[in-house]
């Protein structure tokens, strides 16, 4: 989650006819200017964030398109009951006389959002007016994360990483403490590294399923009176290591209780010793 750099804070702006035309694209019926509360905010910019990453201007331009129509919520808790406002307009603003590390002009992605003036929204409007709701944070997805020096996705350079090719914008949030340590962009990398993690997770699930099957199989031999559903419920909360250990234990117990002997095994000694033993089964 990338913090919003809100130099002037969230500010109210009375809607005009053009604003209402854009707002009514998202409403089920035409709303009037007196029925909505409109405010502006800065979502993000092209400076290096606390994770050593940044959006170049091209990525901000794509995010400008993606954030249209997205909702504003609280603390990135994605639920319908947590929706506070909706973005109806976005723009890029260059800050005169300021630039980022590579000489690119400091550029901010700004947004305008609205919420209906209802009794239930009175508190939110009051908090925005009073400056209590001021800082914002965004959540989005990008396709690539590359080194700003060599352009590679994997390298040993200690240099800022560029977040390229945004693929989706999820929401922006009002946050209480945007400057907390570790704040940054929520990224979902659609690259080979992300796919590799997904593949590892898939095989991890298969391994767990295999361990669980072993535990259930051997426990049924050792404790046939114990219902299978009870055992399945008991192993759900176990770690991989605990499952493997339980499986080995039950396997040893099963071998002791039901020692298996091959059908064609030859007896070393017995009453048939020397008596046509090559024909004996």
| In a domain? residue 34 | yes
Q: Show the domain range for 247.
A: 195-257
| In a domain? residue 271 | no
pLDDT for res 278: 52
Q: Note whether 72 and 87 are within 8 A (CB).
A: yes
CA-to-CA dists, residue 185 to 26, 48, 87, angstroms: 27, 11, 19
| In a domain? residue 215 | yes
pLDDT for res 228: 86
| In a domain? residue 224 | yes
Residue where a domain terminates, one of 164, 190, 216? 190
Question: Based on the domain organization, do 76 and 165 belong to the same domain?
Answer: yes
Question: Based on the domain organization, do 171 and 211 belong to the same domain?
Answer: no
Q: Residue 244 in 3-state DSSP? A: helix
Question: Based on the domain organization, do 87 and 204 belong to the same domain?
Answer: no
pLDDT for res 4: 41
From the list 196, 137, 148, 194, the residue with the least C-alpha distance to 167 is 194
Alpha carbons 84 and 114: distance in angstroms, whole number: 9
Contacts 24+ apart (CB under 8 A), 73-81: 73/171, 73/172, 73/173, 73/174, 74/173, 74/174, 74/175, 75/173, 75/174, 75/175, 75/176, 76/1, 76/137, 76/139, 76/171, 76/173, 76/175, 76/186, 78/170, 78/171
Beta bridge partner(s), residue 152: none
| In a domain? residue 273 | no
pLDDT for res 79: 64
| In a domain? residue 23 | yes
* Total domain count, the chain: 2
In the chain (281 residues long), the average pLDDT of successive 10-residue segments reads: 42 77 95 93 85 89 95 76 87 88 84 92 88 82 92 89 92 64 36 54 80 87 85 83 86 75 52 52 51
pLDDT for res 162: 92
Alpha carbons 190 and 142: distance in angstroms, whole number: 7
| In a domain? residue 153 | yes
Residue where a domain terminates, one of 168, 190, 212? 190
Question: Based on the domain organization, do 57 and 185 belong to the same domain?
Answer: yes
Question: Based on the domain organization, do 112 and 23 belong to the same domain?
Answer: yes
pLDDT for res 220: 87
Give alpha helix (H) positions in the chain: 17-23, 57-66, 122-130, 192-222, 228-235, 240-257
Question: Based on the domain organization, do 240 and 101 belong to the same domain?
Answer: no
Question: Based on the domain organization, do 58 and 75 belong to the same domain?
Answer: yes
By DSSP bridging, strand 2-3 and strand 136-147 are antiparallel
């Amino acid at each position: 989650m990338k913090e919003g750099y809100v130099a002037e804070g969230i500010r109210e702006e009375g809607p005009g006819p053009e604003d209402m035309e854009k707002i009514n694209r998202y409403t089920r019926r035409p709303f009037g200017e007196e029925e909505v509360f409109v405010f502006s905010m800065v979502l993000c910019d092209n400076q290096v964030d606390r994770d050593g990453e940044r959006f170049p201007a091209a990525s901000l331009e794509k995010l400008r398109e993606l954030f249209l129509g997205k909702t504003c919520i609280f603390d990135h808790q994605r639920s319908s009951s947590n929706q506070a406002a909706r973005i109806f307009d976005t723009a890029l603003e260059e800050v005169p006389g300021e630039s980022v590390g590579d000489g690119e002009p400091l550029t901010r992605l700004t947004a305008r959002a609205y919420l209906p003036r209802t009794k239930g929204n009175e508190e939110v409007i009051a908090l925005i007016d009073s400056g209590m709701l001021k800082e914002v944070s965004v959540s989005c997805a990008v396709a690539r994360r590359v080194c700003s020096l060599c352009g590679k996705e994997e390298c040993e350079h200690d240099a800022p990483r560029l977040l390229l090719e945004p693929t989706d914008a999820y929401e922006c949030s009002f946050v209480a403490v945007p400057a907390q340590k570790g704040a940054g962009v929520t990224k979902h990398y659609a690259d080979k590294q992300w796919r590799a993690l997904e593949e590892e997770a898939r095989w991890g699930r298969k391994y767990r399923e295999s361990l669980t099957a072993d535990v259930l199989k051997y426990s049924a031999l050792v404790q046939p009176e114990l219902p299978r559903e009870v055992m399945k419920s008991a192993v759900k909360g176990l770690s991989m290591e605990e499952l493997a250990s339980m499986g080995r234990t039950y396997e040893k117990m099963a071998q002791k209780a039901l020692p298996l002997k091959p059908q064609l095994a030859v007896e070393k000694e017995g009453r048939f010793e020397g008596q046509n033993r090559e024909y004996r089964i």
